[in-house]
């Protein structure tokens, strides 16, 4: 289970995930430390969609792969106000560390003097856009094909790319569970180094290809609603049909916790 793996700091367990007990600034500082390592590690940022997939009874393969990835991540952060609110109801405090904000901070700080940043995802214009918007590091980009999890050769290409680059930071921008699954493969590959971060659509926000929710919606935990309005055909199932499952997952987890004699 995810709580079995070592983490950057003492973990806070919620929904069988060991969340790092770190503030936003502390998590950023840990990333800077991991980036200097000669061995590869990676960080995941949990949201409702991830937890639902990890508990899926219909797609057990994805559930198993995500649970493995979360178990092997060096740091697990909470990227959801909904998860944090559910945890609070259960008497547990989770620090909210949004992955998009974390990514933006790294770019704005020019990755704290890092020489090379590897990006898996994006398109043919990604490298030029980032070099123009955030000059400093050497950005190297690998754009994998769609449906990469069903293409072993394409997965191997990404693993080889990350190992060859030896970048301080490797950003996986190919969605869930692709990013997490391939991060595990990079972890297993001898010669890889630095830190990987599964970042979702963060680079598209920074490049202006997608518009992030206004600040008031973020503060109210309504960023999901903004994405639903922007991309209703792609997002309606995730947010309206699958999303509410998180409440049942949290209820079952809390009932098991109560039966084990832990505080309700």
pLDDT digits 0-9 by tens, 208-250: 776 666 777 777 776 766 666 777 776 666 667 678 999 999 9
Gyration radius (Cα) of the chain, Å:
18
Which residues sit opposite 33 in a β-bridge? none
pTM summary value: 0.87
Q: What is the pLDDT of residues 16-39, one digit of tens each?
A: 999 999 999 999 999 999 999 999
Look at residue 6 and tell me whether its pLDDT is greater than 50: no
Report the alpha-carbon distance of residue 203 to residue 205 in Å, rounded: 5
Contact in structure between 83 and 90 (CB atoms under 8 Å) = no
Encode pLDDT of 181-197 as tens digits. Answer: 999 999 999 999 999 99
How large is the average pLDDT for residues 112-121? 96
CA distance linking residue 33 with residue 26, whole number of Å = 11
Phi, psi at residue 160, to the nearest 5°?
-65, -40
Cα–Cα distance for residue pair 184/167, rounded to 1 Å: 16
Q: Give residue 238's pLDDT.
A: 65
Whether residue 102 contacts residue 20, with contact meaning beta carbons closer than 8 Å, is answered with no
- Angstrom distance (rounded) from CA 79 to CA 61: 23
Choose from 6-10, 205-209, 242-246, 251-255 the range with maximum mean pLDDT: 251-255
> To which residue do tokens 């940022």 refer?
45
């Amino acid at each position: 289970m995810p709580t079995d793996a070592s983490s950057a700091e003492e973990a806070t367990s919620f929904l069988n995930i060991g969340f790092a007990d770190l503030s936003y600034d502390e998590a950023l500082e840990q990333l800077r430390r991991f980036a200097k390592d000669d061995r590869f590690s990676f960080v995941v940022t949990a949201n409702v969609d991830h937890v639902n997939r990890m508990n899926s009874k219909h797609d057990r393969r994805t559930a198993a792969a995500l649970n493995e990835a979360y178990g092997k991540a060096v740091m697990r952060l909470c990227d959801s106000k909904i998860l944090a609110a559910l945890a609070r109801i259960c008497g547990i405090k989770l620090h909210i560390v949004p992955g998009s904000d974390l990514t933006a901070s790294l770019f704005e700080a020019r990755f704290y003097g890092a020489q090379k940043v590897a990006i898996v995802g994006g398109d043919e214009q990604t490298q030029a856009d980032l070099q123009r918007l955030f000059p400093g590091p050497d950005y190297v980009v690998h754009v994998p094909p769609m449906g990469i999890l069903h293409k072993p050769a394409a997965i191997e290409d990404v693993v080889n790319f990350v190992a060859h680059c030896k970048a301080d930071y490797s950003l996986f921008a190919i969605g869930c569970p692709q990013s997490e699954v391939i991060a595990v493969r990079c972890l297993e590959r001898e010669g890889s180094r630095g830190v990987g971060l599964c970042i979702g659509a963060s680079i598209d926000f920074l490049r202006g290809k997608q518009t992030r929710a206004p600040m008031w919606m973020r503060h109210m935990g309504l960023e999901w609603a903004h994405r639903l309005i922007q991309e209703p055909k792609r997002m309606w199932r995730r947010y309206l049909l699958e999303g509410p499952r998180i409440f049942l997952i949290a209820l079952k987890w809390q009932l098991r916790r109560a039966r084990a004699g832990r505080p309700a």
